[in-house]
Amino acid sequence: MRYLKTIFILLLSFSFAKAQFVSADSKRVADVYFLNKEYYAAAEYYKKALQISPDSLGFVVPYGFEKKVLEESPKKEDYEYAVFQLATSLRLYKNFQDAEKWYAIANNFTNSKYALSGFWYGDCLRSNLRFEEAIMAYEIFIKKYPINDSYKEKAIAEIESCKFALNEIKYPRLYKLAKLPANVNLSGSNYATALLNNTFYFTSSRPKMVAGKNEVLAGVNENKVVKKATPYINAIYTAQVNTDTAKVNVSKVAVNAREMEVAAPALHPNGNAMYFTAWTNKDEKIRSIYISRKSATGEWSDPISLGGEINVNGYNSMQPYVTKDGKYFVFSSDRPGGSGKYDLWYALVRPDGTTGNAMNLGEKINSKGDDQAPYFNPKTKKLMFSTNGRVGMGGFDFYEAQGDFTNWTAPKNLGYPFNSAKDDLYFTSLDDQDNEGYVSSDRESVCCLEIFHVKKDILTVSGKLIDCESKKPLEGAKVVLTSDDLGEMTTTTDANGNYSFGITSNRGFHLNATKRLYFAKNLNYSLQQLVAIDTLKGELCLDKIPEKPIVLKNILYEFDSAELTDSSKVNLNHLYDIMVENKDIEIELGAHTDNIGTAEYNLDLSQRRAKSCVDYLISKGIAPERMTSKGYGFDVPIAPNQLAKGKDNPEGRALNRRTEFKVTKK
C-alpha cells in the first residue's frame, strides 16, 4: 500500500536519528498512520511519542502524567498535540473508555486548537453510559466554545439524547439480546446479516489466508521494517441458521470479487441474485453496489456493478436490501439530492433483478446525519433503519416508521435495550412480525460490530369481566387493547369471563371492555406501572345500562338562567367520559324544574338548560348526532314540590330541579 511505502521511507531516515529525537520520530509515524485512518496503530505511536512506558497497561494515563506535561514547558506544545491526537485516535477506533481519560486532560488545554476536546469528552462519556456527566460536559463546552459553527448545535442535540437515554435505561423496553458464539463473532467486525432458505449470511472482517497461513506484508516498528498480519478483509460468510449453539460451522461465500472487499449481502427472494457492497482498499474507498447471480450448479457469478440508477460516479452507494416480496430495492447513499450525509433511497426491482431509477425516501425519513441499513417488512408496512441524525441513545440508533414508500409516519426510536449508547445497525427478521431477528452492535466491543440475536419479550395482560351487581362472569364481551406501539388488539371473553393478551411493548396501553346493554369500562396503564412486571392481572366489572334516566349530580345554573356554572362543567365531564368510552350509544339529555313560575316559562327554561349541556358536550368533541336535548319543565317531578295543605317543600323542589340523561340507543 502507498502509505506503507511512505512509512518505510520515513523509517529509513529515522534509523539514523539520535536518541533524543525518538519522541519526534514516533510522532511522525503516528501522524502517517492517522492520515491513513489506521487509528489503532496511530494510537500506539502517539503513546510512544508521549514516552509512556511500553509495559504500561493499554492506554491508561500514568500517575502524575498531567503534572509532568505542565512542568516540562519546553515540550508542552508537543505533549498537548500528542495527547489530543492519542485521544482522537482512540475515539475513532471506538475505544471510548480510554479516549475519555485522554480527552479529560486535553479539555484543560488553553490552546484554541484543542477547543473541541470538551465536545469529544462529552461524546466519550455518553458512549461509556455516563449520561449525567456527559450532560455537564456538553453544557461546559457550550459555554466555553468560542467558535460559531455547528458544534454548539450538536452539543445541544447530544444533551437531549443523554436525557432520552437516561429515561430509556430507567424504563427498559421488552427486548432480550444475546451475542452469537465466537466463531461467528470472530475477532474483527461481524455484521450485516441476511437470511434465505435457512441459510444465514453475514459479513466478517477476518485475516486473509494464503495456503493456510496468514499473509504477511511490510509493517513498521519505530526503527525498522517488520512483518505483521495482513489487515482484516471484509468478506461474506454463511452459517447454519441455529446460530445460538456453542459451535457453528462457518464458511466463506465464493464470490470472485477481484481483490475487492465485500459486505452487507442482500438476497433476492428467488434466491438467484445476491446484492452487496464492494470497494477496493484505495485511498478514496468509494463503495458501490454489485450483483452476483447463482448458476444452475449453485455457484455465484463474477459480480457486476449496478448501473447509474444506483451507483453514481464519485459517490458511495451501499447496504442494499431487497424486500421479501421482491418489489423494492432500498439502499444508503451520499449521492446528490439527499437531506444530509447518507440518505436512504429506493428503486423498483424488475423481474430480472435489475432496478429502476433510485428515488429518495424523503425528509420525513432522512435526517441531516447519516441514515443507513434499511429493512422493510411488506406485511406490516414498517421500515426499520439506523441513523445518527436524531435524538437517541447515541451513535447509530434503530428507528421505525410505517408507510408505503410515498407516505411515512414520523420515525420512532426503538429504545433501550434494542439500542445502546454505541452503534446499532442491520436488522434481519426471523418472522413475519419482526418479533425476532438479528442486529449488529458494538455495545460489548471496544472497536467492532458484533452480531446479536434479539427477541421481543412478552407481557401477559389478563383478567376477568363480571357484572358489577350480580358478580357473575360476562361471556362474549369485547375487550380492546390499544397502544401507540402496537396499534389495536381485540379479544372476546370466554364462558368464565376471562380475557388475555400477549403484548410485546410496555410503553403504556388502554383497555376498553364493552358488552351490549352494559356501560363500557376503560382502564389506562402507564409506562411507570408496567416497567417492572411481566404479568398484569385484573378483574373488571361492567354496569348494566338502566331503563330509567340517570340523574347527573350537581349540574347547576345561574339564577333564572340556562348558563352552566364552572363547577357544573366539571361535573358534566363525567357524562363526557361515558360518551367517549361508549362510542355506540346515543342519549337524550333532559332538564327539569320545580313548579315555581308558569308552565310555559319553566318548559322554555328547561329546554334551554338541556341544550346548554348538549352544546357543552359538543364543544368537547362529542358528535351532535349522538345527543338530543329535551326540556320537561315541571311535568315529571320525582318528589312533591309542596307538602299537605300547600306547605312549601324545599327539599322536594331541589330534587325536581335536575338534569339527567337516558340511553336511547344501546
Q: Are 457 and 504 in contact (CB under 8 A)?
A: yes
Residue 70: pLDDT band with limits 50, 70, 90: low
Q: What is the pLDDT of residue 531?
A: 84
Residue 562: pLDDT band with limits 50, 70, 90: confident
Written as nine digits, the cell of 292 is 452476483
Amino acid at site 604: D
Q: What is the pLDDT of residue 95?
A: 92
Work out the average pLDDT over 557-566. Answer: 79
What's the mean per-residue pLDDT of the chain? 87
Q: Is the pLDDT of residue 11 over 50?
A: no
With a CB cutoff of 8 Å and minimum separation 6, the contacts of 226 are: 219, 220
Q: Is the pLDDT of residue 43 over 70?
A: yes
Q: Is the pLDDT of residue 164 over 50?
A: yes
Q: What is the pLDDT of residue 657?
A: 87
Q: Is the pLDDT of residue 645 over 50?
A: yes
Amino acid at site 346: Y
Closest by CA to 162, choosing from 370, 367, 386, 391, is 391
Taken in order 348, 352, 353, 358, the sign of the CA dihedral is: negative
Residue 216: pLDDT band with limits 50, 70, 90: very low
Phi, psi of 434 (to 5 degrees): 60, 30
CA 532: distance to chain centroid? 21
Q: What is the pLDDT of residue 153?
A: 93
Give dist(CA 46, CA 82) in Å, integer: 6
- % pLDDT > 70, the chain: 88
Closest by CA to 512, choosing from 525, 522, 524, is 522
Q: What is the pLDDT of residue 226?
A: 31
The answer to which of 48-62, 410-424, 546-560, 619-633 has the lowest mean pLDDT is 48-62
> What 8-state DSSP symbol labels residue 109?
-
Q: What is the pLDDT of residue 62?
A: 67
Work out the average pLDDT over 570-588. Answer: 90
Q: Are 378 and 401 in contact (CB under 8 A)?
A: no
CA 56: distance to chain centroid? 40
Q: Are 606 and 616 in contact (CB under 8 A)?
A: no
E strands, 518-605, in order: 521-525, 535-542, 550-552, 586-591
Peptide bond into 417 cis (omega under 30): yes
Closest by CA to 323, choosing from 275, 366, 371, is 275
SS3 (DSSP) at 204: strand
Closest by CA to 96, choosing from 337, 374, 524, 420, is 420
Q: What is the pLDDT of residue 435?
A: 95
Q: How many angstroms separate the Cα of 20 from the Cα of each of 11, 14, 16, 24, 30?
A: 16, 12, 12, 9, 17
Work out the average pLDDT over 401-428. Answer: 96
Give dist(CA 587, CA 629) in Å, integer: 9
Give dist(CA 662, CA 655) in Å, integer: 17
Work out the average pLDDT over 20-41. Answer: 81
With a CB cutoff of 8 Å and minimum separation 6, the contacts of 355 are: 306, 309, 310, 329, 347, 348, 349
Phi, psi of 550 (to 5 degrees): -110, 125
Measure the CA angle with vertex 203, ends 198 and 207; round to 5°: 130
Q: Is the pLDDT of residue 408 over 60?
A: yes
With a CB cutoff of 8 Å and minimum separation 6, the contacts of 85 are: 30, 31, 34, 42, 46
More confident residue, 564 or 471: 471
The answer to which of 188-197, 216-225, 310-319 has the lowest mean pLDDT is 216-225
Give dist(CA 417, CA 421) in Å, integer: 10
Q: Are 665 and 585 in contact (CB under 8 A)?
A: yes
> How much of the chain is helix, strand and coil, in % rounded to 5?
25, 30, 40
Q: Is the pLDDT of residue 213 over 80?
A: no
Give dist(CA 94, CA 120) in Å, integer: 12
Q: Is the pLDDT of residue 399 over 70?
A: yes
Residue 238: pLDDT band with limits 50, 70, 90: very high
Q: Is the pLDDT of residue 46 over 60?
A: yes
Phi, psi of 572 (to 5 degrees): -70, -20
Q: Which residue has the cell 520515513?
A: 10
CA 442: distance to chain centroid? 16
More confident residue, 208 or 580: 580
Q: Are 371 and 387 in contact (CB under 8 A)?
A: yes
As separate numbers, helices (DSSP H) first and strands (DSSP E) second, the chain gives 13, 35
Written as nine digits, the cell of 646 is 300547600
Q: Is the pLDDT of residue 558 over 90?
A: no
Work out the average pLDDT over 219-227. Answer: 34
Residue 20: pLDDT band with limits 50, 70, 90: very low
Closest by CA to 514, choosing from 489, 540, 539, 538, is 540
Q: Is the pLDDT of residue 215 over 90?
A: no
Closest by CA to 345, choosing from 324, 320, 323, is 320
Q: Is the pLDDT of residue 262 over 60?
A: yes
Phi, psi of 353 (to 5 degrees): 95, -10
CA 247: distance to chain centroid? 32
More confident residue, 198 or 14: 198
Q: What is the pLDDT of residue 547?
A: 84
b or e along 342-355 (b: 16 or more beta carbons within 10 Å of the residue's beta carbon)?
A: bbbbbbebeeebbb
Give a three-class secondary structure readout of 35-51. HCCCHHHHHHHHHHHCC
Q: Is the pLDDT of residue 222 over 50?
A: no
Q: Is the pLDDT of residue 446 over 90?
A: no
Q: Are 289 and 263 in contact (CB under 8 A)?
A: no
- % pLDDT > 90, the chain: 66
Give dist(CA 109, CA 70) in Å, integer: 10
Written as nine digits, the cell of 194 is 441476511
